Structure 1
Amino acid sequence: MKRSNLITEAGATRLRNELADLWKNKRPEVTRAITAAAAEGDRSENAEYIYRKKQLREMDRRIRYLQKRTAEMQVVEHLPPNQTQVFFGAWVELEDEEGNLFNHRLVGSDEFDYKPEYISIDSPLARALLKKQQDDEVSVKLPGGEKIYYINRITYDEQNS
């Protein structure tokens, strides 16, 4: 399944800041450490050199990923005209059949792990919630079986985030 390119303004800023920090601060620091470790002699048995090379590979992989994602991302800057329905960026209060309450925000696939309340717009729950309204019942197929939720409230208040 292809991931969505949607992202909130805050999420886009976080990704851009991470990319800038990796490229301008952390990568030069690691390359200096590699140079210093390489100057110590035999590289095949130099633990510092081996560790720093691995660190640089992982960092370069993350930089390439962030460069690709930031070029592709579609920042959602405006609220939807119909705020009584669930769309990208919405905060949704759900209640399950046992009366447990859950508060989730639908965000992009690159930012759902930023806060525990965030869920990816590509997740089964988010897909089931899209275009639903308050007091609607939502059925979601999960690995553990089908789960039913009731939508108690929908807001687009940035203060929740």
Structure 2
Amino acid sequence: MSKAFTRESDQDDDDDDLPTVAPAPGGKNYITRAGYDRLRAELFQLIDEERPRIVEVVHWAASNGDRSENGDYLYGKKRLREIDRRIRFLTKRLEIAEVVDASLHHGGDQVFFGATVTYADADGKETTVTILGVDEVESAQGQISWVSPVARALLKARVGNVVRLSVPGGVQELDVLAVHFPVPATR
């Protein structure tokens, strides 16, 4: 078959390498306002700035003639596919997002979405984590997804409770030491 009749996307544009972050059980995709705004800003930056810039480069490169050995053209087309894939992903995630205001629980001692929780394991090692949405977690900053096993064990617990966490080596007990929520914004 002639190469003229193949879709360009048949070569590298598989949606299989998209991050497949499905909503948690029940179909909810909880996210904080800050996380939602960050994803939305990324989406608009891709649509309004990066994609038009790459389209311009591809257009310029295509006007130079032979596209088969034109690095700007080939790289530009590949980058456009990556941008379009990310735009589709962000659009789908934002459509199903449910923004939660964690500051509504400020002053409470029960663990809910958006809480920063300090707990101790059986060895007395203290760990502090913030329970956030799947799309906004940065583990290097001590953030965990609300669907993670640790977060599931901690949710609805109160300060002073001991929760049980199933781990590959058995069951681990975690003692909830402190719960903090963001301060409500003043208007």
The answer, yes or no, to whether TM exceeds 0.5 is yes
Q: Over alpha carbons, which structure has the higher Rg?
A: 2
Q: Is the 8 A contact 2:107 2:181 kept in 1?
A: no
Q: Distance in 1 between matches of 2:68 and 2:183?
A: 52
Q: Distance in 2 between matches of 1:112 and 1:142?
A: 21
In the TM superposition, residue 99 of structure 1 has moved relative to its aligned partner by: 2.2
For the aligned residue pairs, the C-alpha RMSD in angstroms reads 2.2
Q: Does 1:17 align with 2:53?
A: no
Q: Distance in 1 between matches of 2:163 and 2:70?
A: 57
Q: Distance in 2 between matches of 1:138 and 1:118?
A: 19
Q: Is the 8 A contact 2:119 2:127 kept in 1?
A: yes
Number of residue pairs aligned between Structure 1 and Structure 2: 159
Which residue of the other structure, out of 46, 55, 72, is the alignment partner of 1:31?
55
Equivalent position SS for 1:79: helix
Partner residue in 2 for 1:69: 93
Q: Is the 8 A contact 2:67 2:73 kept in 1?
A: yes
Distance change >3 Å, CA 158–CA 56, structure 1 → 2? farther
Q: 1:1-161 to 2 correspondence within 5 Å?
A: 2-3=23-24, 4-77=28-101, 79-80=104-105, 83-113=108-138, 116-143=141-168, 145-158=170-183
Unaligned runs of 5+ in 2: 1-21
User: How high is the TM-score relative to the length of structure 2?
Assistant: 0.77
Q: Distance in 1 between matches of 2:70 and 2:127?
A: 51
Deviation string 1:59-80 (CA, Å, 9 cap, x unpaired) is 1111111111112111112524
Deviation string 1:80-139 (CA, Å, 9 cap, x unpaired) is 488221010111001122222211111111101275211101111111111101121222
Unaligned runs of 5+ in 1: none
Identity value in percent? 41
User: How high is the TM-score relative to the length of structure 1?
Assistant: 0.88
Distance change >3 Å, CA 149–CA 48, structure 1 → 2? same
